[in-house]
Structure formats: structure tokens, C-alpha cells
Chains A and B, each alone.
Chain A
Amino acid sequence: MSNSIFKQNYFEIFSVPVSTAPNLKQLKEKNHQLQQQVHPDRFANSDAAQKREAMQITSLVNEAYNTLKVPVARLQYMLTLKGVDMDGETDTSMDGAFLMQQMELREEIADVKSQSDPLDVLDTLSGDLKNQAQNLVLAFADFYQQDELEKSREIVRKLQFINKAQKEVSDIIEQIEDELI
């Protein structure tokens, strides 16, 4: 393992084709393989410079793995490969119907605790969100293929919304479950 790893993109590091749906099991195995070679523990007897390099390379491998593993991060990264950097973007226009839908969803989450069986409602919501996310990833694949970058980008924005909603749902589930213990 040499410095050249810093010139590879994350998909190259993990020897998988650029894809919206990489084989997660394969990624995990490759991660173990890479870590076996680069982890700082392998360089415990080396000099300070080599130790430092091992730490940096392992940090990179970890970052690459985390990015490829999580759909929204993966898609956002795929966009950077085509020159679109979404970090710190100010243009966040999105279609009105989607926003309406999101607002309704938020309201539903907000008063879930007044429902007779909030956990059931939350489970359903969680399932819905998961489906929506999956559909968005499929749609992204098509747009990305056709270099429709603006549309791809909008999908990532939508996914970010859905991720936030998912987080809210799981936070409330956690709260309710903690109260039940």
C-alpha cells in the first residue's frame, strides 16, 4: 500500500464499479482486507513517519467505507465524481409537492405521541420512509447514467430530507422505548 491510494476514488479503493447499489457484503470484506494491510497496529514497530502514514491511509479507508456504505453519502460522493460539490450549496430549490408531503409527514411525527399506539404508527412511518428512500436511489441511478446532474442533485436533496425524518422517527421510538423499560 503506497501513497497512490490518495489518488484513487473511493470505488477504486474498494475495487468495485461506480454504482448506486454496491454489494455491501463485498465492501465489508474488502474493508477487512484493506485494514489488515494498513491499520496502524500493523506499524506499531515502525518509525514515526510510517506510523503517521498508516494513520492517514486508514483514516482514508474508513472515510471511503463510510461513504460507500450509506446511500445518501454514496450518491453525494458520486456527484462529486462528476464535478458537482453539494457541500455548502445555497441553491436548495425543490419541487413543491415533495415539500408539502414532507411537511405533512413532520406534522404526523410531531403528534404521534397522542396516538393510542404510537409505536405502531412510527413503525409504519419508518417503513414508508425506507421505501421512499429506495425509490429515490433507483431514480438517481437513471438520471446519473444520463448525466442529468441537476435532477440527480435534487434527488440527493430529497434523500437528505428523508434521512432527517428517519432520524426523528427513530429518536422518538427510542424515547418511547426508554420510558417503557
Chain B
Amino acid sequence: MALLQISEPGQSTKPHEHKFAIGIDLGTTNSLVASVRSGQSDTLPDADGGHLLPSVVQYTADGTVVGAQAKQNQIDDPHNTLSSIKRLMGRGVNELKSQFENLSAALPYEFAQTDSMVPKIKTVAGDKTAIEVSADILKALKLRGEKTLGDKLEGAVITVPAYFDDAQRQATKDAATLAGINVLRLLNEPTAAAVAYGLDSAAQGIVAVYDLGGGTFDISIMQLKKGVFEVLSTGGDSALGGDDFDHAIAEWIIKQADVKPTELSSSLLRVVLHEACKAKEALSVEEQVQINIEFAADKNWSGTLNRDELNSLIDPLIKKTLMSCRRALRDAEIEKDQVIDVVMVGGSTRALRVREQVADFFEAELKVDIDPDRVVAIGAAIQANALIGNDAEGNLLLMDVLPLSLGIETMGGLTEKIISRNTPIPVSRAQEFTTYKDGQTAMALHVVQGERELVDDCRSLAKFELRGFPPHVAGAARIRVTFQVDADGLLSVSAKEEISAVEASVEVKPSYGLQDSEIEAMLKASMEFAGDDKDARSLREQQVEADRVLEAIDSAMADDGEEMLSADEREKIQQVRSELAIARHNATATQELKEAMAKLEKVSAEYVARRMNASVQKTMAGHQVEEFNK
């Protein structure tokens, strides 16, 4: 039916033909959704005009509360109100324990005992994984997108920290699936920021993007050139951000107040963290701040935190980020003086000390004129728009890299690197293995991610079991294993026995991720996808398509139906059109709707051809044929 939508050359297409896609910045502290409208990318506000959606979800017996309201309820309901959940994405139970060791008390959640590799937090609405909580945030953002843009939403680009490993990326993608979002691409946050900044400033050359968010830090060294955004190297820490500043200040308060951390209730801990965050923000403006906390009815504490004290608390953390910057520069083989701009992204780059230290390090002025909170979502929306084919010039190209080396476990618990960090993606590498026993028909591969020599010091991604290749004597089989990383930075593994050309079956046991069966169970449990969610989704897509077809035929008929069609022809088309309109609302199966659309297409084929002829004649009127050969 595309031919119905003919517009004159140079004229824009009709608004109802416009497709929308959204960019989502799923942040540790706040999340945003943006979209390109009338050629302009901007974040979408909620009904109250706020753009930031606090990444906080409260589970109650009556339902789920997301955003500002949930954030307000956090102090009163700390166990059921989950925040900074991004820090748990793709993390296993044991890892969380070590990661949060010194602030174990600062994680006020109760974890459920579970067989799953994925930690579950106890709430009144049942046990929740970080993936489910993130899905609830994503649903809220998607809803905001649909309310603003109508239901012609094609999909979303979702941003992740560049330094997210495979498990964390997969967890994010799983959350999107659970939220019913068609993921066009996972995009690295600094890359998204560079797109927004680069297109806005038309800068060309080497740019460093320093992205310090609530819970993650990324540094990307990029080359910008006429719509091409090439990541040369990336580095960071997926567990370092403004939250850690708050924790450092909170620990200082607790020490000053002479309170035992173990004696703090969850609510009181929330209060201390809240005050710490407030003090941090105030010190970007004030020289010093007064902090008052009521630890108990008879214990009021008040103290003063000044900038010097704050700096000494956060300097060690900033130093860690600068070490990553140095390594990223070295990996990119770039000298500091080649960097033309340092783009500051993420709410935590508002801290004056961060700006001071980063400017010192790069010996350069910083770009702080862009909104550090919104730039990532804006960039993501620009790419989303391009991916669905709305990019008129069609030359936006984002070339990204693998943030952390991928390797396999070899003898003695050592890692052998298969693909090194900062290799451009997508990338595939094949490696050959052989058997060590006569008649062996299966083997296991342990895939890890990280830079360290010992397997135990790297991130365990998955154990792959290859089965079903034919038996040979020891050492004779040649099993070729292909590691493929796609443009989202996600790994897949396939294996083939070379001599017999038998494809081995690969069974993946993710070390921390969800099993496919777990995701399925969650999807089924989710109200929105009750029943067979796949059919429901496909029917929904056909309904959208039917709406488009109906709009197209109506608008064409209104335009020139009278002059181009006889009364009989018009009636025939109208008849079939109403059949489709009815099917649009009543059809329960995709096939039914498809047939109705095909029928309309058939009866209007002649009409389409006439319109096309007319349009071509109109275009050519008054021109010489040669002009069109140019």
C-alpha cells in the first residue's frame, strides 16, 4: 500500500506516515525518554512537566509506583522501595556481597533465598529481580512515549554504560523484553552523548567523553567526522558513581556522629544517605553546609561539612576515574594534546571537584554547556530515529568497541584472550579445539570477560557445553568454536566439528543471567502479556499496520477519489475498506487481519496505478526528459 502515499517531490510526507522511535536513558538515579519530533531531538516530559523520572520503584500490595512518588515514599517504606537498581543488573548473589561489603548495611533490601543465579529482593508484591524492577521503569518510560507520540512507536534505543559487560547488557535487554519494548539497539551512553553533542556543535576531531553518573563511570575517546562517530577506546568502572560520593559522605557523618553503622535502621540509613546527597549537591554552590540528623529521640547530631573536607572524601574516587582516562588514551594511541574537546556527561559531573580534576588531567577546557542529565537520551533518540529510516541524509554512523576482553578458561585456571578490549564491534573470532580422550563427543567451555590473568579475577559469563560431535581418537577431532559479538556488544557462541562438518549443539549456562525459562516465566506472569504474548504482540503490530493502511486509503480517496474513480469503483473500495475497519477491531488472529488488508490492496491496485501515473505526469509537466536523467 506504500504507493498510495505519493507526495510531490520536495514536499514532506504527510504527518500520519511518520514513524516514531524513542531513545531511553535507563539511569542509576534518574531515567529519561526522548524522541525526534519535527527534526528536533528532545526529552519528553510527564504530565507535570518533569523530564527526569527517578529510577525508583515502590511495590505495594495494591500495585507498583514508579518515579517521584516512589522516591518520596522511600524513607517510610525502605524495604519495598527499590532504588539504584542498575547497580544490581547482571550481578550474581556472591558478587553483590563482595561489591557492597563495606556498605552491606547501606543496601537496605532483604534478599530472598533462591535457586536462581539472579538475586531476588523480597517485597510485599513478591520477590523481584533487578531485571523486573528495571522493566517497571522502562514500562513507565514507554508509556510516556506512547502518550506523547501516539501508538506508532516502532521501537527504542536503550543506552547502557560503555563499560557494561555482557551479563549487564543482556540483563538490560531482558528488562526491555519484559517491558514489551522492541529494542532497536543497545547504545553506549558516551557514544549517545557524543552524537547529541557532535551534531549540535558540528565538532570534528578527537573528543573525550567523561560520563560520571549515579552509579557508573565511562570514558570514551572518540573521533568525530561528518556524521561518523568512531569510538577509538573506552574504559571505566561499572560500579563507580555519585552514589559512592554519597556513601563516602554518609560514612563520614556516621563516624562524626559516633554512631555504630550496624545499629542504624534501614530507614535511618536512608535518611543519612539522603542528607549526604543533599550536602554534596549544596557544596557545588556553597563553601560549607550544615547537616542535622536525628539519630534517636535523645540523639540529635549536627555538623559542618566544607569543600576541603568533601574533596578529601571524594578525591580517591575521582583518581580512579582519571586512571581509566589514562588507560583509554593509551589504548586509543592518542596524546592528551590531540583531544579537542572534553565533553562532560552525567549528573555527577556537576561536582566542582570533578570538573577541576578532569580539566587538570586533560589540560583542557571542559564542555559543560550541555545538560549532562539529558544529553544521553537525546543522542539515543537521534540514533533510534535514524534506525527506523527517518534520517534523511542517511549518513549517521556509529562505530563502537568491545569494552572488556573476552577469553576462555585454560588449564590451571588461566584465561586465554579470544577478543581483546577495544576491538571494533561487531567482531567474530574462531578458535580450534581438540579432544583429549578417545571417543569424546562433548566438551565444556568457560567464557569469561575481563583483563586479568586468572579466571577467578575475571567476570564469569557462561559455561558452554558443546555436544553431539562424532567420536574420534584423542586429539583428532577439530572443533571450531566461533565467538560472535554483535553491534549491541552481546556475545553468542557456535561450534562445528570440522572433519565431519557436524554442528555441535551449544548449551549456554549463564553464570549470573536469567535462564530463558526464567524470562519466559516472568513474561507469562506479567499481566500485559497474559496468554500467548508473541501472538498478542504480532496482532498488535498488524493492527498498527491496518490503521496505517486505513489512513492511507482515506486520505487518498479524499484527495482524488472523485476524479480518478467511477462511482462503482469507489463503492467497491469503500465496501472492502469497511471490512478491514471491522477486522481491525474484531480480529483476534493475525491471519484474519492480514487477509483483510490483502483484499483491500487487491481492489485498490488499479487506483494506486492511476495515482502513480498522475503523479509522475504532474512532476514531469513543464520539464524536459533530459533533466531527469541527470
Contact = CB atoms under 8 A, between A and B. Distances in A.
A63 B423 CA distance: 9
A80 B156 CA distance: 43
Interface residues of B, number: 30
Given A35-B397, A41-B398, A55 B484 contact: yes
B493 interface: no
B589 to A, nearest CB: 22
A36 B397 contact: yes
A45 B388 CA distance: 7
A68 B491 CA distance: 24
A181 B360 CA distance: 11
Nearest to A58: B426
Interface in A19-69: 32, 35-36, 39-41, 44-45, 55-56, 58-59, 62-63, 65-66
B225 A62 contact: no
Contacts of A66: 423-424
A95 interface: no
B323 A41 contact: no
A174 interface: yes
A161 to B, nearest CB: 18
A45 B386 CA distance: 11
Interface in B224-241: 225, 228, 230
Contact of B426 (A32, A59, A170, A178): A59
A170 to B, nearest CB: 7
A59 B330 contact: no
Chain A's interface size range is 20 to 34
B323 A32 contact: no
B185 A181 contact: no
Contact of A44 (B388, B395, B428): B388
A40 B395 contact: no
B537 interface: no
A181 B395 CA distance: 41
A65 B424 contact: yes
B330 to A, nearest CB: 7
A177 interface: yes
Contact of B386 (A41, A56, A58): A41
Contact of A35 (B184, B399, B428): B399
A177 B426 contact: no
A39 B423 contact: no
Contacts of A181: 319, 322-323, 326
Contacts of B184: 44
B537 to A, nearest CB: 16
Nearest to A40: B487
A174 to B, nearest CB: 7
B427 interface: yes
A110 to B, nearest CB: 18
Nearest to B184: A44
Contacts of B425: 62
A26 B398 CA distance: 19
B487 A39 contact: yes
Interface in B422-442: 423-429
A44 B326 CA distance: 35
B36 to A, nearest CB: 15
A32 B326 contact: no
B424 A178 contact: no
B486 to A, nearest CB: 6
Contacts of B424: 62, 65-66
Interface in B310-324: 319, 322-323
A143 B112 CA distance: 67
A35 B400 CA distance: 12
Contacts of A58: 426, 487
Given A63-B427, A174-B326, A55 B487 contact: yes
A39 B397 contact: yes
A141 B327 CA distance: 33
Given A40-B426, A178-B323, A181-B323, A59 B484 contact: yes
23 contacts: A32-B228, A35-B399, A36-B395, A40-B426, A40-B486, A41-B397, A44-B184, A45-B388, A45-B389, A55-B484, A55-B487, A56-B428, A58-B426, A59-B426, A59-B427, A59-B428, A62-B423, A62-B427, A65-B424, A170-B330, A178-B323, A181-B322, A181-B326
Interface of B: 184-185, 225, 228, 230, 319, 322-323, 326-327, 330, 383, 386-389, 395, 397-399, 423-429, 484, 486-487
Given A59-B484, A63-B429, 17 more contacts: A32-B225, A32-B397, A35-B399, A39-B397, A39-B487, A40-B487, A41-B386, A44-B387, A44-B388, A55-B486, A58-B487, A59-B426, A62-B427, A66-B424, A174-B326, A174-B327, A174-B330
